[in-house]
Amino acid sequence: MKKVLSLLVFSLFALTLSACKDDKPKDDRTVITYAAWNLGLQEDNNIERRMITAFMEKYPDIRVDVIERPRIVNEEGIEEDSTWDQFFSNQASIGKMPDVFQVDVVIKAILNGWAEDISAQANADNEFLSISEDIRNDAQFGDKLFALPQAMFYMGFFINRTIIDERNADIPTYGVTYDKLMQIAQQAAKAPVQGGDGIAGIDGVNDLIGWLPAQYDQSLGWFTYNESGYHFDSPAFATAMAEQQKYFGSSQSAYTGYVLETQGNPDINGGITVEDRYGTGNVFELGKQAITYAGSYNLRNWLSFTLDEKRGLYNHDIDFIGTPAVMVGESLVNRIPVILDYIAVGQGTKNQEEAYLFAKWMGFGVEGYTKRLDIAKNFPQAGAVNFAPIVANETLVDQYFDLYPTLVEFEKIVRNHDAFIIESLAKTVPGYVNSRWQGRYSAELNMSQALDQIRDGNISLADALAAGLNTRANTEYTIVKAQLDAKLEE
């Protein structure tokens, strides 16, 4: 009898569990997967993860599942994220590519068949069409669009008004000329009296051949590139290279008083190292540098450092002025480089409309950007908004600079500047990495090394051109462009 009762009780218990299981609500939401390099750790719940949560609250019929990048232990025993290429190669090998993902190289995503053509959705989207044409079409090839702009950053010079004012130098502003900027850098610099108390004037002279040629010849873009290829044989490149050579060749010692890149050689500086002058670490972050060349994405960290008593930038007044103007004939030319981050929809996704909606939310879209500003305002610990609005929307610009009222020069650029050159060629120009860095100039030198040798005065530009410098850069471009064209025709 007890055995029968036990069986009866067990059966009832099993039925109850089954009923509970059947009554459990099913998740009927559309699921899209997402992969990105800026998500941080889950427990940090940074602004990007909060944006994902906010999207699901706004669109309750869609669930976003993050594909976490594996953590690995490096040779020093430190845990870090696996590389983006390792991560993506692994996901491709197991057939689990994300529906939406950040794109490090758009060309690679196309050639590997990772990115979907989203031109139909984008061309029907008025917000997308409000983006300036050169920006919105940068990831377009023929009539196909393979990525959306997720963020746009500006390249140029940050200034530390606090330091410059203490040195009784003029405060540089947006639109300052290149010559004037270098004069201010010299005025603001201070030689060290004792260890670590120096002030650096400026750095960034190693990047002149990137943006300066495009000021002298407006048919050129970053690093002399335009749709016909590279133009190292142009007068504009020769002028820019001659300016850069001043700081690295035989005349280098004339600038060691204020140009940071000239101070790394103790043989030239009487045995004084950079650390002797300023201390250990990033000199601008130490609060020991007047002007530095960097991307506006640094605003996220550097603004927070001005509020942190433990940081060298504490209570310092910093701003961003872009690249300076250059006198060309009787005209001032001021073209500012920009870097684009991209987000793509995975090829073959079953939920393309939802994927596009989410990609837009995480990037240029007005609705998503408004939420991003709201999160930054109410949860500052989650991180600052480190990119200005991409779409033409005055309300968003107003709200952005309400959060960062000290960035008066940067605001002028965002509101008024309309002459840009795209710096992030490695993402959208075929073969750029080889044309600029890794391709062979000779058996002994790659392209990057050859350009450094020209910069340092060890090879003349004329001899390098005669040896095929420009031809080699364009050959690398042509090879990959042919592969891309063939892929687009499939």
**pLDDT, tens digit, 9 for 90 and up, residues 8-34:** 444 444 444 444 445 556 789 999 999
Q: Where in the chain is the domain with CATH 3.40.190.10?
A: 30-152+340-422
User: What does the pLDDT read at residue 294?
Assistant: 98
Q: How many CB atoms lie within 10 A of CB 227?
A: 7
Confidence grade of residue 249 (pLDDT, cut at 50, 70, 90): confident
pLDDT at 2: 44
Asked which of 93-97, 105-109, 172-176, 422-426 is least confident by mean pLDDT, the reply is 93-97
Structure-token match 């750790």, residue found: 41
Q: Going by DSSP bridges, is the β-strand pair 144-145/79-81 parallel, antiparallel, or unpaired?
A: unpaired
Q: How confident is the model at residue 5 (pLDDT cuts 50, 70, 90)?
A: very low
What's the pLDDT tens digit per position in 185-210? 999 999 988 788 999 999 999 999 99
Between 20 and 432, name the one with better pLDDT. Answer: 432
The pLDDT-based confidence of 69 (bands split at 50, 70, 90) is: confident
Residue 85 has pLDDT above 90, yes or no: no
- Write the burial class of residue 235 (CB in 10 Å: 0-12 exposed, 13-18 middle, 19+ buried): exposed
Provide CATH code, domain 30-152+340-422: 3.40.190.10
Looking at residue 326, its pLDDT comes to: 97
**Residue with tokens 């906010």, as numbered in its chain:** 54
314 — pLDDT class (breaks 50, 70, 90): very high
Question: To the nearest whole number, what is the mean pLDDT of the chain?
Answer: 91
The pLDDT, as a whole number, for residue 25 is 66
Q: Binning pLDDT at 50, 70 and 90, where does residue 73 land?
A: low
Query: What is the amino acid identity at position 301?
Result: N
Residue-level pLDDT at 266: 73
- The total of other beta-carbon atoms located within 10 Å of residue 77's CB is 6
pLDDT (tens digit, 9 = 90+) per residue, 281-304? 999 999 999 999 999 999 988 998
Residue 3 pLDDT:
44
Among candidates 115, 50, 118, which has minimal Cα distance to 88? 115
Six token digits for residue 444: 């002994």
First vs last C-alpha separation in the chain: 75
Q: What does the pLDDT read at residue 76?
A: 67
Average pLDDT of the residues in 57-78:
85
User: What are 50's two structure tokens?
Assistant: 């909060």
Both tokens of 218, joined, read: 């407006």
For residue 392, pLDDT beyond 90: no
Q: Give the confidence band of 255 by pLDDT, cuts at 50, 70, 90.
A: very high
pLDDT of residue 246: 96
- 154-336: which CATH topology? D-Maltodextrin-Binding Protein; domain 2 (3.40.190)
Instruction: Inform me whether the pLDDT recorded for 490 exceeds 90.
Output: no
Q: What average pLDDT does range 86-100 have in this prediction?
A: 87
d(C-alpha 363, C-alpha 413), whole Å: 20
Asked whether 373 and 50 are in contact (CB, 8 A), the reply is no
On the question of pLDDT at 7 being above 80, the answer is no
- Tell me what the mean pLDDT of segment 261-276 comes to: 82
User: Interhelix angle for 47-58 vs 352-362, to 10°?
Assistant: 130
The whole-number average pLDDT for the span 242-258 is 94
Confidence at residue 433, expressed as pLDDT on a 0 to 100 scale: 97
Q: What is the pLDDT of residue 77?
A: 63
The backbone region for 125, taken as left when phi is positive above 0, alpha when psi lies in -120 to 50, beta otherwise, is beta
Instruction: Please report how the helices 352-362 and 366-378 are oriented relative to each other, as an axis angle in degrees rounded to 10.
Output: 50
